[in-house]
Structure 1
Amino acid sequence: MTSTDLKVGCQTFTWEMLGEEFHGGPDDLLAAIADAGYAGIEITDTMIGHYAGKPGEFARSLDDRGLQLVSFAMGSRSGFTETDEVETDLEAVKRWLDFASRFPGALVSMGSATVMSDGPREDKFRVAAEVYNRAARLGQEAGVEVAVHPSSHHDTLLYDRGDYDALFALLDPGVGWVPDTGHILRGHRDMLDTLTTHRDRIRYLHLKDVDAGGTWAMLGQGVCDTPAVIEIVRAAPRFNGWLVLEEESHEAAADPAAAVETNRETMRRYGA
């Protein structure tokens, strides 16, 4: 790919992490993201707000702002690891696949498998793999690719390199991966090797930064070797060109719109 093939999107968790302190809605997110100069958006099931079930209206709002839907990100209270919740989780997957299918090229990103109850870890991996694999098959029927987004948050099943390797060994080839630089760095330091080893699954990239102690930092102010990461993912055979910036730092908590605008300027210095 040439540099012109890279596209920069913004993830809405920057606002979602504020919880009850955020008093806006999805239109406020679209305005801030468009005004900051992004080309696309990855929105979550929490932040979609009044557009849930209204993909046509959401598409018109995106068009009005000059934005493209990169991906729809979904999670589950089951953490995708509870046997009794598998069918319920897959029903939710179907709903969001139908939503995403109205947006050409958009994916559905499924959140990190998370430990929600006692029991052997190997059983948790097995259930998560079943959910992700079946979701990907549903995605094939709907014409929408499905990808897994591991995180380093509390009780994640996918924290260190061994966890990544264990899950990916259980996944069908059709299940994609949304690597997140910040989450990988918090769990293990061999980020570039991890990206290279599992490059065939990479669909798009989440760019975040952390300091040496694993605390969230603004992009370019931590230990993430962003140019090296971009070089690796651009060579990945299924990479679609999207670099999605997601910010969870203290600066973002204080002023999300300003933080995502600063990150967009940082990416311009990296040539994207």
Structure 2
Amino acid sequence: MIMDRVAGAPISWGVCEVPGWGHQLGPEQVLPQMRAVGLVATEFGPEGFLPRDPDAKAETLRAHGLSAVGGFVPMLLHDSASDPLPAVDRELDGFVTAGAGTLVLAAVSGLDGYDTRPELDEAAWHTLLRNVDRIAERARRRGVNAVLHPHVGTMVESRTDVERVLSGSTVPLCLDTGHLLIGGTDPVELAKAVPDRVTHTHLKDVDVAFADRVRAGEISYTDAVRDGMYRPLGAGDIDIAAIITVLEASGYRGWYTMEQDTVLTGTPTGEGPVADVRASVEYLRGLGL
């Protein structure tokens, strides 16, 4: 069974690093709800959600019966004038102290949010690819697995971007089923093609009609999330069961972090976002994998 490797993420409760994203819930609400639906671990969430001190961060999770998976770390990687390694070292100090083994790296654009991004020239691509390999090696020396997360609105978004990373670097990937699909990559086919490069997984389900509109530029990513592009696992158009089956058959033993990016327009009424998280957990349990 994979359920002992299924983790939560604060973004499923609308907790996000993007300024103005929406109403932000606190850990005193999110963490007990994670545990109540049966999750055993979580990613950290954005800076400021959990205590900054690594010991206090780890203790906060332990107090709620959760272990630390790691976290999403957005970094500017394509600028030759900016060396990311000092910031990576500071992140790794915290990860090691908190017992978190996975650094989920995103090659951000340098702009706020994920609705637009610039185009990179060859020199910038060379810098980006060199930096992801440098970061992965630095993390490896500290006992942390650094993975690159293809993500809408970052410099690694499209199928062409993903293929460039695969051919031009050795960094492992975070297989984020939703962001890959929205960016134009079939996550099932990618899992089949390069299972050896996938060492971390974000499970999302997506309404493909929204994904098509985002890709076509008809609606912004943020608006699509707010309007319900992400669905509980099993309720969208991604074959989640096939992805897990392919990965497990290839020997994958990493985490499956459930993420349904959510924008809260105010204080939740009723159960709030935990209802969708619970539905996703029940879906995974029902697979019997």
What's the TM-score once normalised by structure 2's chain length? 0.79
Is there any run of 5+ residues in structure 1 with no aligned partner, and where? none
Which residues of 2 match residues 86-97 of structure 1 at below 5 A? Answer: 87=83, 89-97=84-92
Which of 236, 255, 261 is matched with 1:242 structurally? 255
- Superimposed CA distance per residue, residues 125-144 of structure 1 (whole angstroms, 9 cap, x where no aligned partner): 22221221111121122121
CA offset at residue 217 of structure 1? 2.3
Which residues of 2 match residues 1-272 of structure 1 at below 5 A? Answer: 3=1, 6-14=4-12, 15-17=14-16, 19=20, 21-49=22-50, 51-52=51-52, 54-76=53-75, 78=76, 80-85=77-82, 87=83, 89-104=84-99, 106-114=101-109, 120-152=120-152, 154=153, 156-172=154-170, 175-188=171-184, 190-213=186-209, 214=211, 215-237=229-251, 239-249=252-262, 255-271=272-288
CA offset at residue 16 of structure 1? 2.1
Which deviates the most, 142-151 or 106-115? Answer: 106-115
Query: Pairwise CA RMSD of aligned residues?
Result: 2.7
In the alignment, the residues of structure 1 paired with residue 63 and residue 97 of structure 2 have an alpha-carbon distance, to the nearest angstrom, of 16
CA offset at residue 6 of structure 1? 5.0
CA offset at residue 190 of structure 1? 3.0
8 Å Cα contact 2:103/2:145 also seen in 1: yes
- Superimposed CA distance per residue, residues 63-91 of structure 1 (whole angstroms, 9 cap, x where no aligned partner): 22221111221113x3x222222x2x322
8 Å Cα contact 1:206/1:243 also seen in 2: yes
In the alignment, the residues of structure 2 paired with residue 233 and residue 252 of structure 1 have an alpha-carbon distance, to the nearest angstrom, of 36
CA offset at residue 216 of structure 1? 2.5
Which amino acid is the alignment partner of residue 130 of structure 1? R
In the alignment, the residues of structure 2 paired with residue 118 and residue 67 of structure 1 have an alpha-carbon distance, to the nearest angstrom, of 38
8 Å Cα contact 2:21/2:263 also seen in 1: no
8 Å Cα contact 1:211/1:223 also seen in 2: yes
CA offset at residue 34 of structure 1? 1.4
8 Å Cα contact 2:92/2:139 also seen in 1: yes
In the alignment, the residues of structure 2 paired with residue 252 and residue 221 of structure 1 have an alpha-carbon distance, to the nearest angstrom, of 22
In the alignment, the residues of structure 2 paired with residue 252 and residue 203 of structure 1 have an alpha-carbon distance, to the nearest angstrom, of 34
What's the TM-score once normalised by structure 1's chain length? 0.84
In the alignment, the residues of structure 1 paired with residue 258 and residue 8 of structure 2 have an alpha-carbon distance, to the nearest angstrom, of 5
- Superimposed CA distance per residue, residues 99-142 of structure 1 (whole angstroms, 9 cap, x where no aligned partner): 11124462111114537586643333222212211111211221
CA offset at residue 270 of structure 1? 2.1
1:95 alignment partner, SS class:
helix
CA offset at residue 147 of structure 1? 0.8
Which amino acid is the alignment partner of residue 224 of structure 1? I
Which amino acid is the alignment partner of residue 263 of structure 1? S
8 Å Cα contact 1:136/1:145 also seen in 2: yes
Count matched residues. 259
Aligned sequence identity (%): 24
2:103 alignment partner, SS class:
strand
8 Å Cα contact 2:158/2:185 also seen in 1: no
The 1:140–1:168 alpha-carbon spacing in structure 2 relative to 1, beyond 3 Å, is same
CA offset at residue 232 of structure 1? 1.3
- Superimposed CA distance per residue, residues 158-184 of structure 1 (whole angstroms, 9 cap, x where no aligned partner): 222221110122213xx2211111111
The 1:216–1:20 alpha-carbon spacing in structure 2 relative to 1, beyond 3 Å, is closer
Is there any run of 5+ residues in structure 2 with no aligned partner, and where? 112-116, 212-228
Which deviates the most, 130-139 or 241-250? Answer: 241-250
